[in-house]
Structure 1
């Protein structure tokens, strides 16, 4: 089942602004190692799931993984070869807006080398540039 909200107040949202830097969710809170976004963008529910699977497969189900973002915004799309006008398109999927500095995933219970490789594989699934963080002991 895809990652999406159970219910929302409004089905269709306007694009709004994705400007600025992440002021919350920009530090490691749960695990020992993390993946932090360097660029801004919208991460879809499929990308989040693909990154989660990549991390879990590399960790071989050892260690704990925290997903620090959730796709709460819907995006719409009009069908192919349809003329302009006639209203906003149907809801196509769900995205999580990401600002630079946002922590996306955290892991613990594994060595730094294993965590770094797992995060690298997860970063390849995302549409953002990311960097690896580790907790300062």
Structure 2
């Protein structure tokens, strides 16, 4: 499979209200091994860069991975020693607002027949870098080619049975 290139969104330097993290409408399902957030939380851009660097280090150049969250939401902070009032502070950092059940990172297209402990070790070490509790999820496409042949054979038998029943019913009169 060719490498996956994705250009992440650019953070906007406009002050925004704190707001709330909007929950997911439906669960996210991706093939392969993925890291899923268990609670809603904000993750800073430094934590996400540490996550990317750690995944690169543990997985090496052969395995590709995708990080689905990007720090685009601005966070403001007043400087130390400033009294309350006089407006909102300057933009300090950017964060990613992550709802519960959101897939943070994923490693696509891993064969279910190969047991790769290094991937689980890498995902386990990466979870210690994140400020939220995470869970591993594995989703495979289990459609073996032999089952397709069986399904088509069963459908042919059902069609043959129906046609014989129709002939008996309508032509015997």
Which TM-score bucket, shorter chain as reference? 0.7 to 0.9
Of 17, 21, 27, 1:18 maps to: 21
Number of corresponding residues: 130
Q: Whole-Å Cα distance in 1 between the matches of residues 25 and 125 of structure 2? A: 26
Give the TM-score taking structure 2 as reference length: 0.68
Q: Answer 1 or 2: which has greater strand percent.
A: 1
Task: Summarize the alignment of residues 65-76 of structure 1 with structure 2, pairs less than 5 Å apart.
Answer: 65-76=65-76
Q: 4+ runs of 1 displaced by more than 6 Å? A: none
Correspondence 1:106 to 2:113:
no
Aligned counterparts, 1:28-107, within 5 A: 28-29=30-31, 32-107=32-107
Query: Which whole-Å CA distance do the structure 2 matches of 1:89 and 1:100 have between them?
Result: 29
Q: Distance in 2 between matches of 1:127 and 1:7?
A: 21
Where do 5+ consecutive residues of structure 1 fail to align?
A: none
Larger Rg, first or second structure (1 or 2): 2
Q: Which runs of 5+ in 2 are unaligned?
A: 1-7, 143-173
C-alpha distance in structure 1 between counterparts of 2:37 and 2:11, whole Å: 27
Structure in which a larger fraction of residues adopt helix: 2
Q: Which of the pair has the greater relative contact order for Cα pairs under 8 Å at 6+ separation?
A: 1
